[in-house]
Amino acid sequence: MAYPDSTEIAYFASGCFWGTQYHFDKFPGVVETFVGYMGGRKENPTYEEVKTGDTGHVETIMVVYDPEKTTYRQLTKLFFETHDFTQIGGQGPDIGSQYRSVIFPGDDYQQTIAEEVMETLNAMGHPVATAMEPASVFWIAEEYHQKYYDKSNGTPYCHIYRKIF
Count of CB atoms situated within 10 Å of the CB of 130: 23
Does 158 score more than 90 pLDDT?
Answer: no
Distance CA 67, CA 19 (A): 23
Domains of the chain: 8-152 (3.30.1060.10)
Q: Is 16 a catalytic residue?
A: yes
Q: Which pLDDT tens digit goes with each residue over 51-73? A: 999 999 999 999 999 999 999 99
E-strand ranges in the chain read 8-14, 30-38, 58-65, 90-91, 94-95, 101-103, 131-132, 139-140
Does 100 score more than 90 pLDDT?
Answer: yes
Which candidate in 9, 10, 13, 16 is catalytic? 16
Distance CA 83, CA 124 (A): 17
